[in-house]
């Protein structure tokens, strides 16, 4: 079952958030959480990660709730390559995200994917196969426990629909999660994946988490979609 007392997906002013790390932690406590995960975006070129980890660990020492240190990283291509720095300080977890489509030669903008589909160069089934395969490979490539962030949020941007995702696709993701100790996030901001997909994954024994994807302190641990998922899965 999804633990709504833990928010594993938050962003601070370290990257594209609006409030500093300390305020995000304070907001988690104010929301009644027992655990907050701080998970700012990184790229291969990121050079501030050691300082970030030190700051998060320092906040954890005095926080009234458990503070975990993660990062969010995008899948780069169909091989599942991750946009991570070569040297990583100790992290608690990694959020794997499909910010752009992981194509054969690198990231493909969603508008380009839509055009390729409309032109008949790609078809929906093959595109979904590529995305799911890349996602499963990315889980295997993670050097620390991985979670899938806002799974399938990319689809409508590309002209695809989550209803086109087959049970075979979900089983492939479930297999990858179970093999790597990975989990799937119910994302509050993007309200994805949908309840049918989450139910399928849960039936396969995949762990599910709650992520607000908060970019402001006021949104940490504030749920609307996630409780609806919990009710449907109970």
CATH number of the structural domain spanning residue 187: 3.20.20.140
CA 234, CA 220: separation in Å to the nearest integer? 24
Q: Which of 232, 228, 226 is nearest to 5 (CA)?
A: 226
Classify residue 1: in a domain, yes or no. no
Beta bridge partners of 40: 71
Classify residue 162: in a domain, yes or no. yes
The residue with tokens 């709730």 is: 65
Q: What per-residue confidence (pLDDT) applies to 87?
A: 94
88: helix, coil or strand? coil
Classify residue 111: in a domain, yes or no. yes
Classify residue 129: in a domain, yes or no. yes
Whole-structure pTM value: 0.97
Look up the domain containing 110 and give its range.
6-233
Classify residue 80: in a domain, yes or no. yes
The angle subtended at Cα 233 by Cα 218 and Cα 150, nearest 5°, is 45
Classify residue 185: in a domain, yes or no. yes
Sign of the Cα pseudo-torsion (12, 17, 19, 25, in order)? negative
Torsional class of 178: left (φ above 0), alpha (ψ -120 to 50), beta (otherwise): alpha
The angle subtended at Cα 211 by Cα 41 and Cα 71, nearest 5°, is 25
Question: Tens-digit pLDDT profile for the chain (234 aa)?
Answer: 899 999 999 999 999 999 999 999 999 999 999 999 999 999 999 999 999 999 999 999 999 999 999 999 999 999 999 999 999 999 999 999 999 999 999 999 999 999 999 999 999 999 999 999 999 999 999 999 999 999 999 999 999 999 999 999 999 999 999 999 999 999 999 999 999 999 999 999 999 999 999 999 999 999 999 999 999 999
Classify residue 123: in a domain, yes or no. yes
CA 8, CA 97: separation in Å to the nearest integer? 14
The number of domains in the chain is 1
Classify residue 175: in a domain, yes or no. yes
CB 158 within 8 A of CB 102: no
């Amino acid at each position: 079952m999804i633990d709504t007392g833990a928010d594993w997906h938050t962003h601070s002013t370290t990257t594209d958030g609006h409030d500093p790390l300390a305020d995000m932690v304070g907001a988690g406590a104010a929301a009644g959480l027992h655990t907050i995960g701080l998970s700012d975006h990184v790229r291969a070129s990121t050079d501030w990660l050691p300082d970030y980890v030190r700051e998060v660990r320092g906040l954890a020492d005095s926080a009234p709730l458990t503070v975990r240190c993660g990062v969010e990283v995008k899948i780069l291509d169909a091989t599942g390559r991750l946009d991570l720095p070569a040297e990583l300080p100790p992290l608690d977890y990694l959020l794997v995200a499909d910010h752009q489509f992981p194509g054969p030669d690198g990231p493909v903008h969603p508008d380009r994917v839509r055009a390729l589909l409309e032109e008949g160069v790609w078809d929906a089934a093959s595109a979904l196969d590529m995305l799911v395969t890349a996602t499963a490979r990315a889980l295997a490539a993670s050097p620390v426990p991985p979670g899938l962030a806002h799974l399938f949020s990319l689809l409508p941007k590309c002209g695809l629909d989550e209803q086109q995702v087959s049970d075979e696709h979900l089983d492939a993701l479930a297999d990858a999660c179970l093999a790597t100790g990975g989990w799937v996030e119910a994302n509050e901001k993007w309200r994805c994946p949908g309840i049918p997909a989450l139910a399928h994954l849960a039936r396969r024994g995949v762990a599910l988490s709650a992520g607000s994807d908060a970019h402001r302190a006021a949104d940490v641990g504030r749920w609307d979609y996630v409780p609806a998922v919990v009710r449907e899965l109970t």
